[in-house]
């Protein structure tokens, strides 16, 4: 199944051991201390794996670890996990290599040592980094890759020997299927968890209320080797390929020592990992990792290059689809397209260039229920990550939007605004009623406003706030222009007909490809039209004194996006005129 | 001979016990003897146990407080986690055969496994067999015929402790002859070298540390180190002060019975003996043990009766490690890290010594020492007559405990790379360090980085391969919270301190400062700074210049005799149309300034700005809490939407802006707090757009009293002007067409700018040159004369005394920007220009086009005043004409009509009403609502 000499899929640890022994053996003649040579370094296992995965097509055979596959994946096998780095838990020191008798052994890619612990003198400490990863929040179903079905059968057939353990885990179905990504106790009735997780129970309840993410997701503790921690950033989407470990012995004894002793100090000395029991949070010892961009999520992209006429064709069909969604309103559809293509390009201290948040107005409660739903569905099917927040007074007053560090447990609690870059955020203001915001509500509104204006979310670290750059497109649906959340572009929607929206799978695929490709196109600058633009602007300002800095930069952004939507890298007079026309029509509606 | 050897051996053991907190393992003939001495000396090193022995019930805190006496052990070096006895033995046994310890060998996974390492640190060169069977190097006590040199001290100390009055058993003649601290260098050196000559050097196992050598080095350091600075100051007194810096400290500690630790600046160690410093950092456990012993010797020589154990606390290492850079090679090294305390555990009482009582006969056992985290509960009563089985119970009150605390330290925001989350590290605090820092404090900690193994469960033998790491804290220093070090220019003592600080950091910052100085020499530094301030906000250059002056600030002056002080801070008000990026400027300033506070006028209350008194919910004490202005002392307080602020809140600003203090008197607290802050406020005109026909006062509805306290008032108006439009268009287009490579190089980045400003504020205190002073007077007189244009009768005040203060401040700030210690004529000229630009915008009387300070001082311009006088005269005439005393009343509107007919100028009802009320106050008319009666 695997490579010539190793069964990497089912017994990756064997391969780890063998390659290590081989490497040690080869280094012995040179008289070097193997532990020193291989500290923080790969001894060949990664190469072997890379070859297997990418040259021999092994990647497709590696099962993807998710909430459902967790039940049948065998421990100590190779798995794949796609997730967002939700929290960085720092580094961990472990006995990397030790001498057992006269042979060197390694504990790399293992939770604990299978051999008895040798005396200090014969061990060396190595370092690995811990990342707490969750499935990308708001990931739409089409973007989730799952293990091909036949493989499941294959593996579960081999699982018979695993029965005992499987049963044990099946005993607490809540624990796995309903496990919320941001808690460790959940509302599960699991007895074992109850007594150890009770301390943090009330906190969890709060989070579960606040988070509007589906609670079926689970999380993963990924241990990453041989790289600086700065390799990954918070909220990045990464694919990890590594060894899934699960040890029932570890689990049964997990934290039981903490239950009876009331010494607060041991909470202190505990590393955060103990708050994530292995029975709920699977461990992955990462061998190979790769950052994922949205493009990677579009499987088997059409083989066409971004040719102008192809792009134009896709663009036209997409605009008509979007206008259908919005009740045959082409102007709004055009604006929506520009919005979907927007991306923060340049960010300096004060100004940010390239974002285009959109406020679609003119929705009443009724029309919002029709078009809003259609719009949401359209966005869901088009973009990989999207998230909708209903802006009600109650929601704002109670929800935890801000990610917050809980210093008691040492964990970063996920707020609704901890989003992977490239997520689309829809804020539905039509459901807003008049009422009083409490202090939390005000804070949440400010947070949203800050996100829209600067593309920054402040994370609360109790004693200080840390600003994290995010890249989130914000769409606001409201009755009239939203004053709470000032968007760059305000477009009143004038639906004329309610048409059933439909699109074929190929069309959807083409559109997805179009959106991600166009968004990632580089911009180039054509300075030849600078002069023309300046004249146009001066002229416009003379006509309309109310024009400000923000209007002018919006025009520039739109023109640039317009050009991009046709697959062009820099914009021309033509695009500028199109934007001006849209702006004129838009102004008429205001 | 025998006793000498023994005492040497004992010494080794005392200190190893002391350090490692180990009990004794194995069977050895000497062991019991060692144990006895050990116990008698009182070097009780205990261990805390994560899993308290079953026999040790947990103790209620109330019992613990009283029973904690001065403790001799150096607790930081105790491992908080222990293996069980059997674990320890097996680990030790397997470690018995000597295997070389690499220098970077990581820590053992348990206490016990370290035992052999420490215990055999006195392994001598001539020991031909390594201690394979016994962990203790018993077989080769070094043969030293003249071992008097270093041993007697130990035994004497032991002697004094054990029995202060008894004569030590070992001969001490040589030592006695030496006066306790007649630090005669030669003699000492002889003594030290003697020891080395006579014996083969003793090395700490696995290291290149020779115990004698280090011993000598430390002794030399303690005795002879003199502060270079203080020594140079008092070179004459040097003879008198024959003692080194630390000897004096030791004496002081001995005089003040309270002190228990000697703070040693690692920089001093490095200066005196770099080799010792390196050894100390690399092998802190070993070297610090020797350090403590040397110190004890020293103390014992000075005063044999001194009972207390003085601990060495090293601080101020030469380099601090970033928390996220701690890695396995740092384990067992001395490190110094900065961070913020985020969590403190409650104080954990740690049992050091237990006393049991027999429940049957009431017999009290001898104190039982904690042995590797466990207390061995006697199973039977020791009294011969009783001998009851399982009758011993712990007597809490008579046990001894030590304090311990675990603190979580987190990285501060400036150390976190982009897209990362802060790291945390656990720190173990002992004894005096407990509660030294509170959550939220920024601290610098010096300690030893350690690791301990994680057990899978209490019942399991298997140890996880994972290690938990923590730092054994040696020293804790609270660091300043502010982003910049702001010196206290009013207070000269603080100035000196700042200078000292500067010297300390000199080596680190020297290059940086040189760079700043180079920058300051650039001819276009002023323009460059202006450009660097909020580069994304287009135009508004003069406003930016004003803001720059505010950042640099003038010199605060304290008039010696009267005690009055003149503020050096420059206050600026920005008034302008909406959407003119005022708020962005404010945000930027807030980012730049040290201790900047940003508030919005709408949400600020008077107490929120100044200070308020609250009751502590727990203790019920009244507590003074600082408001925004007090918090931004020596910084800039940015107040957005100044016009929306309540009058009450605004009135509080009067005091702050001129006197620079906040006085409060309430709830039994009368205090005056410093609020030496520059106020940067921005306001929108009351009718949302600025009405050029009205005065500033009318436009923004601010009391003139407050307005006059602003040095510069800028009007940022959105004027229709093709030039500015074009520049705006260009600015926006360039933002989009920005090439990363052709970004303007001449702009200082934010950090440099901050450094530049803080350096200037700290070190540059410009003084007016004579010429500049002359120029200032000349220009000021000229400015005042401008109001009295010949031929014009009306007196217009174009400048006031407040302006000259502002001018001085501005020109000082301008000189500071150039790092110039002298204010030159050019600075004065520029200050005048800045002031004039600001005045032209704000204080111009729009009806005449001239600058009129009355506009700001009173809100009424001189031309307005003459107009009012005219109307008053006309009204008076009219009233005299039309109305008869006691006759029928007239209506105001009728009067207005008549007045309009009569006079050439435009008259409003409001004008008439003002005139009528003036007449009413003169007693000429009675004025009721709309009717006027003449009296």
- What pLDDT does residue B2 have? 41
Shortest Cα–Cα distance, A94 to chain B (Å): 4
CA angle A434, A439, A444 (to 5 degrees): 80
Q: Which of B58, B340, B729 sits opposite A552 (nearest CB)?
A: B729
Beta bridge partners of A129: A91, A224
Which residues 433-472 of A are in CB contact (within 8 Å) with B? 459, 461-464, 466, 468-469
Contacts 24+ apart (CB under 8 A), B456-464: B456/A112, B456/A249, B456/A250, B456/A253, B457/A253, B457/A254, B457/A256, B457/A257, B458/A256, B458/A257, B458/B51, B459/A253, B460/A253, B461/B87, B462/A112, B462/A113, B462/A116, B462/A117, B463/A113, B463/A117, B463/B109, B464/A111, B464/A112, B464/A113
The torsion angle over the Cα atoms of residues B572, B575, B581 and B583, rounded to 10 degrees, is 60
The residue among B167 and B697 whose pLDDT is bigger is B697
CA distance B915 to B873: 8
Q: Which of B113, B451, B538 sits opposite A93 (nearest CB)?
A: B451
Secondary structure of residue A476 in the 3-state scheme: strand
Residue pair A96/A107 in contact (Cβ under 8 Å)? The answer is yes
CA distance B589 to B570: 13
What is the greatest pairwise CA distance in chain A?
88
Other beta carbons within 10 angstroms of residue B36's beta carbon come to: 11
Q: A532-536, B212-216, B766-770, B900-904: which range is least confident on average?
A: B900-904
Token representation of residue A515: 């959106």
User: What's the sign of the alpha-carbon dihedral B738, B739, B743, B749?
Assistant: positive
Other beta carbons within 10 angstroms of residue B829's beta carbon come to: 16
CA distance B222 to B280: 14
Beta bridge partners of B475: B446
Q: What is the mean pLDDT of residues B179-183?
A: 39
Name every chain B residue with its beta carbon within 8 A of the beta carbon of A271: 466, 468
B474 pLDDT higher than 80: yes
Spell B256-277 as b/e; 16+ CB within 10 A means b.
Answer: eeebbbbbbbbebbbebbeebb
Percent of chain B with pLDDT over 70: 56
The residue among A38 and A571 whose pLDDT is bigger is A571
Q: Which of A40, A120, A133, A408 to mutate to test the interface with B (most CBs of B within 10 A)?
A: A120
The torsion angle over the Cα atoms of residues B239, B243, B244 and B250, rounded to 10 degrees, is -160
A157 phi/psi in degrees, rounded to 5 = -65, -35
Q: Which of A362-366, B381-385, B615-619 has the highest mean pLDDT?
A: A362-366
User: Inter-chain contact A253–B457, Cβ cutoff 8 Å?
Assistant: yes
Token representation of residue A299: 């499987």
Q: Write the ipTM.
A: 0.76
Q: A19-23, A341-345, B562-566, B609-613: which range is least confident on average?
A: B562-566
What is the greatest pairwise CA distance in chain B?
133
Q: Is B880 exposed, middle or buried (0-12, 13-18, 19+ CB in 10 A)?
A: exposed
- What pLDDT does residue B786 have? 65
Q: Which of A110, A466, A545 sits opposite B465 (nearest CB)?
A: A110
Shortest Cα–Cα distance, B106 to chain A (Å): 7
- Of the pLDDT bands very low, low, confident and very high (cuts 50, 70, 90), residue B165 is very low
CA distance B264 to B280: 12
Non-local CB neighbours of A101 within 8 Å, separated by 6+ positions: none
B35 pLDDT higher than 50: no
Q: Is A244 exposed, middle or buried (0-12, 13-18, 19+ CB in 10 A)?
A: buried
Token representation of residue A237: 């989407």
Measuring CA to CA, which residue among A534, A529, A542, A543 is closest to residue A572? Answer: A529
Three-state helix/strand/coil letters over B58-125: CCCHHHCCCCCCCCCCCHHHCCCCCCCHHHHHHHHHHHCCCCCCCCCCCCCCCCHHHHHHHHHHHCEC
Check CB contact of A549 with chain B, cutoff 8 Å. Answer: yes
Q: Is A267 exposed, middle or buried (0-12, 13-18, 19+ CB in 10 A)?
A: middle
B157 pLDDT higher than 60: no
Radius of gyration of chain A (CA): 27
The residue among B896 and A187 whose pLDDT is bigger is B896
CA distance B488 to B498: 8
Name every chain B residue with its beta carbon within 8 A of the beta carbon of A111: 464-466
Beta bridge partners of B468: B452
A142 pLDDT higher than 50: yes
DSSP assignment letter at B819: T
Token representation of residue A407: 């210093």
CA-to-CA dists, residue B894 to A130, B875, B908, B930, B931, angstroms: 88, 12, 12, 10, 10
Q: Which of B114, B718, B736 sits opposite A560 (nearest CB)?
A: B736
Q: Pairing mode, if any, of strands A358-361 and A489-492? A: parallel
Q: What is the mean pLDDT of residues B556-568?
A: 65
User: Inter-chain contact B729–A537, Cβ cutoff 8 Å?
Assistant: yes
Token representation of residue B149: 């040199």
Q: What is the mean pLDDT of residues B102-125?
A: 36
Beta bridge partners of B576: B716
Check CB contact of A573 with chain B, cutoff 8 Å. Answer: no
User: Inter-chain contact B408–A268, Cβ cutoff 8 Å?
Assistant: yes
Shortest Cα–Cα distance, B503 to chain A (Å): 30
Name every chain A residue with its beta carbon within 8 A of the beta carbon of B463: 113, 117
Mean pLDDT of chain A: 74
- What pLDDT does residue A110 have? 76
Q: Pairing mode, if any, of strands B767-768 and B822-823? A: parallel
- What pLDDT does residue B118 have? 38
- Of the pLDDT bands very low, low, confident and very high (cuts 50, 70, 90), residue B922 is confident
Beta bridge partners of B674: B661
- What pLDDT does residue A29 have? 60
**DSSP state letters, B37-55:** HHHHHT-------SS--TT
At B285-324, the pLDDT tens digits run: 888 888 888 888 888 887 777 767 777 888 888 888 888 8
B789 pLDDT higher than 60: no
CA distance B498 to B496: 5
B855 phi/psi in degrees, rounded to 5 = -55, -40
User: Inter-chain contact B728–A118, Cβ cutoff 8 Å?
Assistant: no
The residue among A41 and B77 whose pLDDT is bigger is A41
Which residues 341-380 of A are in CB contact (within 8 Å) with B? 346, 348-351, 353
Give the residue ranges of DSSP H helices in B614-721. Answer: 628-631, 647-659, 696-700, 704-707
Looking at chain B, which residue has its C-alpha nearest residue A465?
A: B413
- Of the pLDDT bands very low, low, confident and very high (cuts 50, 70, 90), residue B93 is very low
At A357-409, the pLDDT tens digits run: 888 888 877 777 788 888 888 888 888 888 888 888 888 888 888 888 887 77
Which residues 252-271 of A are in CB contact (within 8 Å) with B? 253-254, 256-257, 261-271
Q: B377-386, B444-453, B548-557, B847-856: which range is least confident on average?
A: B847-856
Q: Is A299 exposed, middle or buried (0-12, 13-18, 19+ CB in 10 A)?
A: exposed
- What pLDDT does residue B346 have? 79
Quote the distance between the C-alpha of residue A331 and its chain's center. Answer: 32
Beta bridge partners of A472: A423
Secondary structure of residue A322 in the 3-state scheme: helix
* pTM for the whole structure: 0.64
The torsion angle over the Cα atoms of residues B609, B615, B616 and B618, rounded to 10 degrees, is -160
Percent of chain A with pLDDT over 90: 0
Beta bridge partners of B934: B925
Name every chain B residue with its beta carbon within 8 A of the beta carbon of A249: 456
User: Inter-chain contact B101–A527, Cβ cutoff 8 Å?
Assistant: no
- What pLDDT does residue A227 have? 77
Looking at chain B, which residue has its C-alpha nearest residue A469?
A: B419
- What pLDDT does residue B341 have? 85
CA-to-CA dists, residue B156 to A124, A164, B5, B153, B294, angstroms: 42, 68, 14, 5, 13
Residue A410 zone, left/alpha/beta (φ > 0; ψ -120 to 50; rest) = left
Shortest Cα–Cα distance, A342 to chain B (Å): 14
- Count residue pairs from A and B with Cβ separation < 8 A: 238
Measuring CA to CA, which residue among A35, A244, A26, A246 is closest to residue A127? Answer: A35
A559 pLDDT higher than 80: yes
Looking at chain B, which residue has its C-alpha nearest residue A123?
A: B106
- What pLDDT does residue B106 have? 36
User: Inter-chain contact B720–A266, Cβ cutoff 8 Å?
Assistant: no
Residue pair A165/A248 in contact (Cβ under 8 Å)? The answer is yes
Secondary structure of residue A351 in the 3-state scheme: coil
Residue pair B824/B771 in contact (Cβ under 8 Å)? The answer is yes
Residue pair A85/A284 in contact (Cβ under 8 Å)? The answer is no
- What pLDDT does residue A304 have? 55
- Of the pLDDT bands very low, low, confident and very high (cuts 50, 70, 90), residue A81 is confident
Name every chain B residue with its beta carbon within 8 A of the beta carbon of A124: 106, 328
User: What's the sign of the alpha-carbon dihedral B808, B814, B819, B825?
Assistant: negative
Residue pair B231/B242 in contact (Cβ under 8 Å)? The answer is no
Other beta carbons within 10 angstroms of residue B166's beta carbon come to: 9
- What pLDDT does residue B459 have? 46
Q: What is the mean pLDDT of residues B182-198?
A: 40
């Amino acid at each position: 199944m695997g490579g010539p000499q190793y069964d990497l899929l089912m017994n990756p640890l064997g391969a780890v051991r063998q390659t290590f022994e081989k490497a040690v053996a080869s280094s012995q003649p040179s008289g070097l201390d193997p532990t020193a040579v291989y500290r923080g370094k790969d001894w060949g296992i990664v190469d072997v794996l890379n070859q297997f995965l990418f040259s021999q097509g092994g990647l497709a055979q590696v099962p993807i670890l998710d909430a459902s596959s967790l039940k049948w994946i065998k421990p100590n096998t190779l798995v794949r996990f796609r997730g967002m780095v939700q929290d960085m838990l720092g580094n961990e020191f472990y006995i990397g290599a030790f001498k057992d008798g006269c042979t060197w052994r390694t504990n790399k890619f293992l939770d604990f040592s299978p051999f008895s612990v040798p005396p200090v003198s014969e061990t060396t400490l190595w370092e690995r980094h811990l990342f707490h990863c969750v499935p990308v929040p708001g990931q739409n179903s089409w973007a989730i890759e799952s293990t091909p079905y036949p493989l499941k059968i294959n593996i579960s057939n081999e699982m018979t020997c695993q029965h005992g353990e499987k049963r044990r885990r099946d005993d607490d179905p809540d624990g796995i299927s309903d496990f919320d990504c941001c808690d460790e106790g959940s509302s599960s009735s699991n007895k074992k968890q109850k007594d150890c997780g009770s301390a943090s129970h009330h906190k969890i309840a709060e989070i579960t209320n606040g988070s509007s993410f589906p609670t079926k997701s689970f999380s993963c503790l990924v241990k990453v080797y041989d790289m600086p921690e700065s390799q990954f950033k918070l909220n990045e989407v990464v694919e990890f390929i590594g060894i899934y470990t699960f040890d029932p012995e570890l689990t049964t004894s997990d934290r039981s020592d903490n239950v009876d002793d009331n010494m607060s100090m041991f909470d202190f000395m505990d590393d955060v990992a103990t708050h994530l029991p292995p029975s709920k949070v699977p461990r992955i010892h990462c061998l190979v990792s790769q950052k994922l961009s949205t493009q990677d999520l579009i499987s088997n992209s059409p083989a066409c290059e971004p040719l102008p006429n192809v792009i134009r064709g896709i663009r036209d069909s997409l605009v008509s689809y979007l206008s259908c969604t919005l009740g045959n309103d082409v102007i709004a559809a055009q604006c929506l397209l520009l919005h979907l293509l927007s991306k923060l390009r340049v960010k300096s201290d004060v100004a940010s260039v390239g974002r285009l948040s959109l406020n679609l107005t003119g929705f009443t409660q009724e029309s919002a229920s029709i078009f809003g739903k259609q719009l949401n569905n359209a966005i869901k099917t088009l973009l990989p990550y999207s998230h909708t927040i209903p802006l009600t007074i109650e929601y704002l007053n109670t929800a935890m939007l801000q990610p917050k560090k809980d210093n008691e447990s040492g964990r970063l609690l996920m707020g609704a605004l901890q989003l992977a870059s490239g997520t689309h955020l829809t804020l539905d203001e039509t459901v807003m009623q008049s009422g009083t915001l409490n202090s939390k509500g005000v804070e949440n509104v400010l947070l949203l406003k800050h996100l829209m204006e600067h593309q920054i979310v402040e994370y609360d670290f109790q004693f200080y706030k840390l600003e994290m750059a995010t890249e989130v497109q914000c769409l606001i649906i409201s009755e009239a222009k939203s004053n709470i959340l000032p968007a760059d572009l305000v477009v009143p929607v004038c639906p004329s007909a309610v048409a059933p929206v439909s699109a074929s799978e190929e069309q959807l695929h083409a559109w997805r490809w179009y959106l991600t490709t166009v968004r990632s196109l580089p911009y180039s600058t054509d300075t030849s039209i600078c002069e023309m633009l300046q004249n146009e602007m001066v002229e416009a300002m003379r006509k309309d004194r109310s024009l400000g800095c923000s209007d002018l930069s919006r025009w520039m952004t739109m023109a640039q996006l317009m050009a991009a939507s046709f697959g062009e890298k820099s914009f021309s007079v033509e695009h500028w005129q199109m934007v001006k026309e849209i702006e004129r029509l838009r102004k008429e509606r205001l | 001979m025998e006793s000498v050897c023994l005492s040497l051996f004992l010494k080794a053991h005392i200190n190893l016990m002391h350090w490692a907190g180990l009990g004794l393992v194995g069977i050895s003939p000497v062991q019991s003897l060692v144990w006895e001495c050990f116990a008698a000396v009182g070097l009780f090193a205990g261990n805390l146990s994560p899993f308290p022995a079953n026999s040790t019930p947990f103790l209620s805190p109330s019992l613990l407080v009283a029973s904690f006496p001065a403790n001799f052990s150096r607790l930081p070096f105790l491992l908080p986690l222990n293996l069980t006895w059997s674990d320890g033995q097996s680990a030790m046994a397997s470690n018995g055969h000597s295997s070389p310890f690499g220098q970077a060998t990581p820590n053992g996974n348990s206490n016990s496994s370290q035992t052999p390492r420490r215990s055999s640190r006195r392994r001598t060169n001539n020991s031909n067999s390594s201690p394979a069977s016994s962990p203790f190097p018993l077989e080769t006590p070094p043969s030293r015929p003249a071992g008097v040199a270093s041993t007697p001290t130990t035994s004497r100390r032991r002697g004094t402790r054990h029995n202060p009055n008894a004569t030590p058993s070992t001969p001490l003649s040589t030592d006695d002859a030496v006066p306790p601290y007649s630090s005669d260098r030669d003699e000492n050196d002889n003594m030290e070298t003697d020891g080395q000559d006579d014996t083969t050097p003793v090395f700490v196992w696995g290291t290149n540390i020779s115990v004698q050598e280090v011993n000598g080095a430390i002794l030399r350091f303690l005795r002879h180190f003199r502060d270079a600075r203080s020594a140079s100051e008092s070179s004459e007194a040097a003879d008198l002060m024959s003692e080194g810096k630390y000897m004096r400290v030791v004496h002081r500690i001995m005089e003040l019975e309270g002190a228990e630790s000697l703070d040693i600046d690692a920089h001093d160690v490095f200066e005196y003996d770099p080799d010792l410093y390196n050894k100390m950092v690399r092998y802190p456990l070993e070297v610090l043990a020797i350090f403590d012993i040397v110190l004890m010797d020293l103390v014992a020589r000075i005063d044999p009766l001194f009972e207390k154990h003085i601990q060495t606390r090293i601080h101020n290492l030469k380099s601090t490690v970033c928390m996220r850079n701690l890695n396995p090679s740092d384990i067992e090294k001395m490190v110094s890290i900065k961070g913020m305390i985020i969590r403190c555990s409650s104080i954990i009482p740690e049992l050091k010594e237990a006393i049991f009582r027999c429940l049957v006969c009431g017999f009290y056992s001898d104190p039982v020492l904690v042995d590797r985290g466990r207390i061995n509960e006697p199973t039977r009563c020791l009294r011969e007559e009783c001998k009851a089985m399982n009758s011993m119970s712990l007597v809490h009150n008579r046990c001894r405990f030590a304090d311990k605390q675990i603190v979580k330290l987190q990285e501060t925001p400036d150390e976190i790379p982009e897209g990362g989350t802060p790291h945390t590290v656990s720190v173990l605090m002992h004894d005096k360090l407990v509660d030294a820092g509170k959550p939220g404090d920024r601290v610098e900690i010096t300690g030893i980085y350690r690791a301990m193994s994680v057990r899978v469960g209490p019942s399991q033998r298997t140890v996880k391969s994972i290690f938990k790491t923590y730092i054994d804290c040696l020293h804790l220093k609270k660091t300043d919270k502010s982003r910049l070090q702001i010196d206290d220019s009013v207070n000269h003592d603080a100035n000196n301190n700042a200078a000292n600080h500067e010297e300390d950091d000199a080596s680190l910052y020297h290059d940086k400062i040189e760079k700043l100085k180079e920058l300051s020499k650039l001819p276009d530094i002023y323009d460059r700074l202006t450009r660097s301030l909020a580069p994304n906000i287009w135009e508004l250059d003069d406003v930016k210049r004003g803001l720059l002056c505010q950042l640099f600030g003038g010199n605060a002056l304290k008039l010696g005799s009267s005690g009055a002080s003149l503020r050096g801070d420059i206050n600026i008000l920005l008034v302008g149309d909406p959407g003119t990026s005022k708020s962005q400027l404010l945000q930027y300033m807030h980012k730049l300034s040290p201790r900047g506070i940003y508030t919005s006028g709408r949400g600020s209350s008077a107490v929120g700005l100044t200070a308020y008194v609250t009751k502590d919910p727990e203790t019920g004490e009244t507590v003074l809490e600082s408001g925004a202005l007090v918090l931004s002392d020596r910084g800039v307080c940015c107040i957005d939407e100044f016009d929306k602020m309540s009058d009450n809140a605004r009135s509080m600003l009067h005091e702050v802006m001129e006197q620079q203090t906040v006085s409060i008197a309430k709830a039994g607290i009368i205090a005056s707090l410093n609020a030496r802050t520059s106020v940067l406020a921005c306001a929108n005109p009351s009718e949302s757009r600025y009405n050029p026909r009205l005065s500033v006062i009318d436009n923004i509805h601010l009391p003139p009293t407050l307005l006059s306290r602003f040095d510069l008032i800028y009007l940022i108006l959105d004027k229709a002007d093709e030039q500015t439009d074009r520049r705006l268009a260009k600015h926006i287009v360039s933002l989009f067409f920005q090439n990363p490579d052709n970004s303007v190089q001449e702009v200082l980045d934010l950090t440099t700018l901050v450094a530049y400003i803080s350096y200037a504020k700290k070190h540059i205190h410009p003084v007016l040159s004579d010429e500049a002073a002359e120029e200032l007077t000349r220009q000021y007189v000229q400015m005042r004369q401008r109001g009295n244009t010949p031929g014009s009768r009306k007196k217009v005040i174009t400048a006031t005394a407040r302006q000259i203060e502002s001018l001085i401040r501005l020109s000082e700030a301008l000189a500071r920007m150039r790092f110039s210690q002298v204010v030159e004529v050019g600075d004065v000229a520029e200050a005048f220009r800045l002031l004039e630009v600001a005045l032209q915008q704000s204080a111009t009387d729009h009806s005449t086009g001239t600058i009129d300070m009355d506009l700001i001082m009173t809100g009424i311009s001189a031309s307005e005043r003459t107009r009012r006088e005219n109307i008053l005269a006309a009204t008076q005439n009219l009233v005299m004409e039309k109305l008869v005393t006691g006759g029928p009343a007239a209506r105001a509107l009728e009067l207005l009509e008549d007045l309009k007919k009569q006079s050439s100028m435009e008259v409003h009802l409001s004008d008439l009403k003002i005139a009528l009320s003036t007449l009413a106050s003169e007693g000429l008319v009675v004025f009721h609502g709309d009717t006027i009666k003449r009296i």
